Amino acid sequence: MRMYIVILLLLGSMTSFAQEKSMPPPPPPPPTKAKTDVFKVVENMPRFPGCEEETDEQTRKDCALNKMLKFVYGNIAYPEIAKNNGVEGTVVIKFVVNEKGEIINPELVRDIGASCGTEALRVVNMMPNWIPGSQLGEKVAVQYHLPVKFQLTNPNDGIFFIVAEMPKFPGCELTGDENNDQDCSNLKIIEYLKQNMQYPEMARKHKIEGECQISFVINELGEIVNPQIMRDMGAGCGIEALRLVKEMPKWIPGKKDGIAVNVQMILPIDFSL
């Protein structure tokens, strides 16, 4: 009897063991995205702040880009060693905009020397928090590459692209705050264009819309010198944009070290029905 019970126990153990061996292992848990993941492209890329009131997505993107460019070139101080030696080119700064919109790990990935890279990195480190990027409705960290252009049209001619105090369209009471004063100047330009633009009949007839660009120099007296069409979409729009610039009043000249200087400008003029 005892031997029979032992055999039954052994058979029961073997049956249980066989059942356990035949059962498939449980599936592994689904992978979870680590918070440290950094994306390069997402559905909604990070944006410079200040344009949240815009309802149209493309308008919001354009506005954010313009705000960022104003911030960068409004704060860049062209290194003296670069100006004295005619150093020009494009610096590239890489950084991450994290889930909170903070700029982290900014680093120089392309430099042209003469302290230009150091200066571009300094300005990036000054930036406020951005609007973070998102993927599938979730805020994520996104890598961003920012090119910063250092260019002097011709140092020997004394024409600058960037100065501490950029030229301003007249009509603003200057406060000494470069960003605020530049915003006021931009608004005055928009008002002038709206009040004086004569939409070309051919462009209106064919419903042509887009952007023209006019380059010109604001000299030490605030006069507009050598205006030229840089981008034209045709149907008379480039000619009209050139007329608008030529008929502008004198500007408040730009200044370098407190002295009025010649500054190269490029003005985009939007034609929209």
Contacts of residue 97, defined as CB under 8 A and 6 or more positions apart, other chains included, come to 46, 103, 104, 130, 132, 133, 141, 142, 144
pLDDT at residue 159, as a whole number: 78
Give the count of beta carbons closer than 10 Å to the beta carbon of residue 45.
18
Q: Are 37-150 and 156-273 in the same CATH fold?
A: no
pLDDT at residue 157, as a whole number: 58
Structural domain 156-273, CATH architecture:
2-Layer Sandwich (3.30)
For 49-85, the pLDDT digits (tens) are 988 888 888 888 888 887 888 788 778 888 889 888 8
- For the chain, the domains span 37-150, 156-273
Interstrand relation of 210-218 and 262-271 (parallel, antiparallel or unpaired): antiparallel
Place of tokens 């008929």: 247
Tell me if 58 sits within 8 A of 105, measured CB to CB: no
pTM: 0.48
What average pLDDT does the structure give for the chain?
Answer: 83
Is the pLDDT at 204 greater than 60, yes or no? yes
Average pLDDT over residues 115-137: 94
Tell me if 44 sits within 8 A of 138, measured CB to CB: no
Residue 94 vs residue 174, higher pLDDT: 94
Is the pLDDT at 94 greater than 90, yes or no? yes
Token pair of 90, please? 């494009």
The CATH topology of domain 37-150 is: 3.30.1150
Is the pLDDT at 98 greater than 70, yes or no? yes
For 226-250, the pLDDT digits (tens) are 898 877 888 999 999 999 999 999 9
Token pair of 27, please? 């599936």
C-alpha to C-alpha distance for 120 and 108, rounded to whole angstroms: 9
Token pair of 61, please? 């993107």
